Structure 1
């Protein structure tokens, strides 16, 4: 029976089982689950290939290239999740130029951040000075009210003594 079921799928079941077992969450794999996963994978790969062929340069050249697949992963919303797995190929010199531009951008951003930080510090200092002045005013008001409270308490104590 296992021989008949494996004919339904083109992909090697042993490899798919190894891939499935590589997950730490999987302890055992049911044969039916293995077959369904293999068939679903096969259908997905066929769909990806035919979509890439139709929307890429494959129709003109009657071939399917890696560039067609990577273009599909970038442009198609359905296959967007594959963009990290199928990145566009670029030359090493282009990559080095990109890295240099990123580093320049990072350094420029850091300088801009430093300027922004200095402005924020100046604003913070101004705010702290204003808060300190407000606190001093409140303390003066509190000192006056404390004196009144003490006078009031003394008056109450004097009344109690008279009784």
Structure 2
């Protein structure tokens, strides 16, 4: 059986980040983050984490505090001690005893379409994963020009599928 290696970015309890952060792997946040956070894999917000803004992830496991709109394609798990205030859009939601949630919920197969409409209203788009290898100068220029023009997705699901296929093809998985 082939063993897969998954990279995980860890931001410790002393981190305080504001702005926009995109990670093409799993992540653990123990500190503070304010802004737009995109994680292609699983995001774990530890009990010491405090996040405010917009969270767009594959999966979310929350033990800390978040005041955010959350879009999680594969699911959200609110663990004991978790505090989440905001709107959530996901295919699956699990709230464990001891977790607190206050806000609106859209769960199910149409959740990603509803999330796309919300992102369009906020003028937030899902960027394609960055390619840091075998990229020509023309491709980098095209990518930079495309980033300057704001694009609004019609459906987050379509964007996530494009991201997933690019990541898998970059890893050699068909």
Where on the TM-score scale, by shorter chain, does this alignment land: which range? under 0.3
TM-score, length basis structure 2: 0.20
TM-score, length basis structure 1: 0.21
- Which structure is higher in strand share? 2
Query: Rg bigger for which structure?
Result: 1
Of structures 1 and 2, the one scoring higher in RCO (CA 8 A, sep 6+) is: 2
